[in-house]
Amino acid sequence: MTAPQLGTLRAVEPRTMWPDEAADFTPWLARPENIQSLGQAIGLELEIEHTEMAVGPFAADILARDSATGDYVIIENQLARTNHDHLGKAITYAAFLGATTIVWVAPTFTDEHRKALDWLNYNSVDTLSFFGVQVELWAIDASNNAVRFNVVSRPTELVRRSTLQASADLSPTRQLQLEWWSAFRDALIAAKALPSTQTPRPQYWYNIALGRTGLFLSATANVDEGRIGIRVYLMKRYGGESALAQLMESREEIERELGESLTWNPNPEASDKVVVLQRAADLRAKERWPEYLQWMVQSTVKMRRVFAPRVRVLQVEMASPASTGADAAGA
């Protein structure tokens, strides 16, 4: 039997592909397919807002949004060993722009900077996240280079859940919601249902990206009224009223593809618009959670499959902030 011929895997110096950080690497990373790969590595769906975003006398490499929440994400790049300068700038940009997530991308992270990110994640509130992502280039023999995003620091999910569960401020209902969303997130991950999932929190909703900021899925858990559901949430600020009108033009087709009847715009007076799929569920009866979780995961997958491609091509314009009032996604 002939022995298999194996190639030699070799590391490639990043600057052979991107000689200049600002002129080469940042524009490359900002391409949709590459920012999607970075998002998959850290568990977020990202949309680019700006590159080289002015912040005083400096410029943030990339300003993005988390599609599931609409929150800003700062992406700070460098093509050398990490240093204090880039960490300080990233934190400054996040503070100035109101970002909730910092993603620091570099080919080499020092132990000190990795520990600094871990410390920030451990000691920050659960709404702030810090990621260290090592960008690697690899090739086999004379093959084309391949990129790998290796996450070397991220928020510690178990620590954040434990901190929330130990909070004396959680009512029994909020505690139950936190446990439910934690179980739901675990079920989504186990089913490999989504490319990314958000951190569970003790609240009524759990948002899921559809690939467009301000237009997303929002899973709901109403403990007191005994209902769970999945809704398409269309924020007014991001053209929600127009988005609803366009989606309703395909109402029959959408419901046929889903195999479900939906409730369209149940609260016409509300600024934000929703399309709802829901069912009865007593979340206090934990022995029924496997049944409920199966329904939630299956419904999430169906809703995302049917609505995501439609939402991405909607022709909507962002409303002016003065006309939108409070911007509370998922509330």
Residue 165 pLDDT? 53
pLDDT in tens, 34-90: 998 999 898 888 989 999 998 888 899 999 998 877 889 999 999 999 999 999 999
Same-domain status, 72 and 199: no
Question: How far apart, in whole angstroms, are the C-alpha atoms of residue 180 and residue 4?
Answer: 50
Coil, strand or helix: which one is 294? helix
CATH number of residue 173's parent domain? 3.30.1460
Considering its fold, how many domains does the chain have in total?
Answer: 2
Q: Judging by beta carbons within 10 Å of its beta carbon (0-12, 13-18, 19+), is residue 245 exposed, middle or buried? A: middle
In this prediction, residue 91 has a pLDDT band, given cuts at 50, 70 and 90, of: very high
pTM of model > 0.75: no
Question: How far apart, in whole angstroms, are the C-alpha atoms of residue 2 and residue 14?
Answer: 36
Residue 155 pLDDT? 84
Same-domain status, 270 and 246: yes
Coil, strand or helix: which one is 281? coil
Same-domain status, 172 and 135: no
Same-domain status, 169 and 109: no
Domain boundary among 136, 155, 174: 155
Residue 222 pLDDT? 94
Question: How far apart, in whole angstroms, are the C-alpha atoms of residue 261 and residue 213?
Answer: 26
Residue 214 pLDDT? 87
Same-domain status, 171 and 204: yes
Domain membership flag for residue 268: yes
Same-domain status, 26 and 71: yes
Domain boundary among 111, 128, 155: 155
201, pLDDT greater than 60? yes
Same-domain status, 16 and 150: yes
pLDDT in tens, 312-330: 899 887 664 434 333 444 5
Cα angle, residue 173 at apex, residues 171 and 175 outer, rounded to 5°: 70
Domain that holds residue 252: 162-321
Neighbours of 122 (CB within 10 A): 13
